[in-house]
Amino acid sequence: MDAIKFVQEQNDQGTKLPDFRPGDNVIVSYRIREGEKERIQDFRGDVLQISGEGLTKTFTVRKMSSGVGVERIFPLNSPLIAELKVTKRGKVRRAKLFYLRGLVGKKARIKERTFRGK
């Protein structure tokens, strides 16, 4: 098992993404190839979960588009992620926020985490 972890660490792209947690609102700028053209498309939504370990680590982002929930799973170490911005920090008590799928309107909102300085 140590040999597998060693190879994974050697192949790590070393993408520098900000620290984020489930419940945070993020904007993922993702490179999309259409034929020979390449463009960057933003996907803005709430992080539902972070799963996996090492190179297989992924995170799921959910957004509402025309009243329909759209979820997308992004690999954390993907070279196609151009940028990731955290717009809001969410205050949640769970690591997997799948209960948001059944909520509609104001009930589906996540409270913002506030920091108190001394």
Q: What is the pLDDT along the chain (118 residues), one digit of tens a residue?
A: 678 777 767 666 566 788 899 999 999 999 999 999 999 999 999 999 999 988 889 999 999 888 888 999 999 888 899 999 999 999 999 999 999 999 888 898 899 988 776 6
Model confidence, pTM? 0.81
Using CA atoms, how far apart are residues 12 and 95, in angstroms rounded to an integer? Answer: 25
Per-residue model confidence (pLDDT) at position 11: 66
Per-residue model confidence (pLDDT) at position 5: 74
Per-residue model confidence (pLDDT) at position 23: 92
Per-residue model confidence (pLDDT) at position 31: 94
Tokens of 90: 């969410």
Left, alpha or beta for 105 (phi > 0: left; psi -120 to 50: alpha)?
left
